[in-house]
Amino acid sequence: MKSLSFLAVGLFSGALAATVSQDATCGGTNKYTCLGSQFGNCCSSAGWCGSTTAYCGTGCQSGFGNCGSNNGPSSTVASSTKAPSSTKASSATPAPSASGSATQCLSDKKVPYKVSADAAYAQLAEPYNLRLPYKPAVIVLPTTNQHVQDAVVCGGKAGLKIQAKSGGHSYASFSSGGKDGSMVIDLEPFQTVALDKTSGVVQVGGGVRLGNLADGIYTQGKRALSHGTCPGVGVGGHATHGGYSHTSRSWGLAMDAITAADVVLANGTLVKASSSQNSEIYWGIRGAAESLGVITTFYMQTRAAPESVTYFAIPWTGIFNSKATFTNSFLRLQEIARNSSIIDDRISFGVYVDNYGTFSLSGAFFGSVSEFNSKIKGEFLRNMPTSGEVTVKPYSWYDYLILVAGKDSIKEPLTGYSEHDTFFAKSLTVPEKDGLSSAALDAFYTYSQTASSKSVEFYSIINLYGGPGSTINKKDTNFAAYADRDSLWVFQNYGQGANTVSFMNGLQDAVIKAQPQTQFGAYLNYVDPSYDAATAHKLYYGDALYARLLALKKAVDPKNVFWNPQSIGA
């Protein structure tokens, strides 16, 4: 959300005997080269390896790989070294004929699509995270359910891997396939937001962005849903992998509001999935939709928008002045987070920290300003360092959405979305029973102090998920294929800069190692491309849940058509 301006990282040094990048970074202090790396042979101006013009074109660092084109040597370094031009064409990438037969099949069935030769392709192929710009073999733009059904059959027959795309905000660009050469079914034309005023159930097209969803249900009937703050995020990825925000401890996750979905399965069948129809598929898509099918329409139970929300924000200064101050301050917040005489389900909040020494808390309270001030505010200020100016302010529901979006409007364009970032992010979920130890907080502090020496800019948002009364944690894995129901805190660790991947991994490792007795997990919506499939499955689902998902996967998608590097069965 918060855009970080980028520190200029060291100029290219021309080092010849460089180490081949293992983490997609190049140049910078580590001076890794992209030449021969699995990520592509070119080193971008921002210090990432890749194979497209974003990496090989303007600003490309010739000291750390090829420039001009992925295989076209334009520097002495490249021409004197044999570029392994076949690295990208792994065995998982289908032969060109596969995309040819898929497009022939799509044309025969009159399904709209774009390939790289089309003018519209470049913009459609661009993911939110420009660090991972994969090249789909074909981008399908269906306007009907039948188009989606036909596309799935065409892709499957041609041997292409398929991923649906909703808002395109996957941290790992899985909605671009998670590798080159996939079929992307872009649900951008599915923009319906239709509220049934009697039941309060809204019908939501698979490509609707959260801002347009919130705007639509409020405008049509003063209704609301629990979901993330960023209006550009899509319902398709967000609601099927959790969906957290300031309302979640009261209302639950975005996922929890899904009452039914229209799903196209691998054999091209369209089914309705709910607790009474295709209930195992209904269970599975709430946690692993990308592995089971394409959801063309969601049905979600809205609730009455509250008249007013109390927003609060507390900035502290000097918390990063010493390790003891940092650790004791967080431990005090954790004490509050677990104390049922202070906290109930009406409050949600998160702590924001960054490499500039920011340490602030913000959240929402479904109660009055006076109740917040008399019962809760004093607790946040007691036994803490002196704070800056505290904000406690009532907002109408709609104005609250605009406030936390950090923009002038929550409405997003229906085509031509153009917001992007270049980053690496990951997450850490902290089990309720353990919480964070002082050793883990000490380790976080000590490691975070090394950011500037590694030219990394990062922030962490540490959200309260659990604690007394949390609606999120009242459910379990029988409700949905979602394991993250017992966390106290969820960290989102988000970084930018040449050494980001190793830095962010190091930050989390430091915390995990300092608290060895705890089984930490990870949050599916902050999907982390640095994990191999087995690790991802363990962290996101755990063994029992994964086994049930794998059995379902084998039944409904035996040929493994719906695939990304971490999908079920990958």
Ligand X SMILES: Cc1cc2nc3c(=O)[nH]c(=O)nc-3n(C[C@H](O)[C@H](O)[C@H](O)COP(=O)(O)OP(=O)(O)OC[C@H]3O[C@@H](n4cnc5c(N)ncnc54)[C@H](O)[C@@H]3O)c2cc1C
Name the site residues for ligand NAG (rule: CB under 6 A): 265, 267, 269, 335, 339, 341-342, 379, 555-556
Cα–Cα distance between 66 and 72 in angstroms, integer? Answer: 7
Task: Retrieve residue 424's tokens.
Answer: 């690496």
Instruction: State which residue, 88 or 241, has the beta carbon closest to ligand X.
Output: 241
Exactly one of 134, 244, 251, 445 binds ligand X (CB under 6 A); that residue is 244
Minimum distance, C-beta of residue 285 to ligand X, in the bound complex (Å): 7
Q: Which does residue 171 touch among ligand NAG, ligand X, none (CB within 5 to 8 A, set by kind)?
A: ligand X
State the residue number with the nearest CB to ligand X. Answer: 236
Exactly one of 151, 273, 289, 522 binds ligand X (CB under 6 A); that residue is 289
Exactly one of 245, 355, 362, 448 binds ligand X (CB under 6 A); that residue is 245
Q: Judge residue 394's burial from the number of C-beta atoms within 10 Å of its C-beta, 0-12 exposed, 13-18 middle, 19 or more buried.
A: middle
Per-residue b/e over 292-327, b at no fewer than 16 CB within 10 Å? bbbbbbbbbebeebbebbbbbbbbbeebbeebebbb
Stretch that binds ligand X, among 286-294, 354-362, 394-402, 499-507 (CB under 6 A): 286-294
Instruction: State which residue, 294 or 353, has the beta carbon closest to ligand NAG.
Output: 294
Q: Is 435 in the site for ligand X (CB under 6 A)?
A: no
Within 223-242, which residues bind ligand X (CB under 6 A)? 228-230, 233-234, 236-238, 240-242
Q: Which does residue 206 touch among ligand X, ligand NAG, none (CB within 5 to 8 A, set by kind)?
A: ligand X
Stretch that binds ligand X, among 162-170, 405-413, 479-487, 496-504 (CB under 6 A): 162-170
Question: Does residue 469 come out as left (phi exceeding 0), alpha (psi in the -120 to 50 range) or beta?
Answer: left
Instruction: State which residue, 295 or 401, has the beta carbon closest to ligand X.
Output: 295
Determine contact, residues 232/419, Cβ cutoff 8 Å: yes
Q: Which does residue 265 touch among ligand NAG, ligand X, none (CB within 5 to 8 A, set by kind)?
A: ligand NAG
Task: Retrieve residue 285's tokens.
Answer: 């898509």
Q: CA-CA-CA-CA torsion for 452, 536, 244, 552, nearest 10 degrees? A: 170
In the three-class reduction of DSSP (H, G, I as helix; E, B as strand; rest coil), residue 429 is classed as strand
Binding track over 99-128 against ligand X, x by CB under 6 A = -----------------------------x
Cα–Cα distance between 477 and 283 in angstroms, integer? Answer: 9
Determine contact, residues 192/147, Cβ cutoff 8 Å: no
Instruction: State which residue, 399 or 442, has the beta carbon closest to ligand X.
Output: 399
Task: Retrieve residue 52's tokens.
Answer: 């497209």
Q: Within 10 Å of residue 356's Cβ, how many Cβ atoms?
A: 12
Find the length of the chain: 570
Neighbouring C-alpha atoms within 13 Å toward the C-beta of 104: 8
Q: Is 286 in the site for ligand X (CB under 6 A)?
A: no
Exactly one of 55, 113, 174, 365 binds ligand X (CB under 6 A); that residue is 174
Q: Which does residue 556 touch among ligand NAG, ligand X, none (CB within 5 to 8 A, set by kind)?
A: ligand NAG
Q: Is 202 in the site for ligand X (CB under 6 A)?
A: no
Instruction: State which residue, 18 or 239, has the beta carbon closest to ligand X.
Output: 239
Minimum distance, C-beta of residue 198 to ligand X, in the bound complex (Å): 26
Task: Retrieve residue 122's tokens.
Answer: 């470049």
Minimum distance, C-beta of residue 265 to ligand NAG, in the bound complex (Å): 5
Residue 5, CA distances (Å) to 251, 368, 405, 456, 495 in order: 35, 37, 19, 11, 11
Chain positions contacting ligand X, by CB under 6 A: 1, 128, 163-171, 174-175, 187, 206, 228-230, 233-234, 236-238, 240-245, 289-290, 294-295, 525, 564
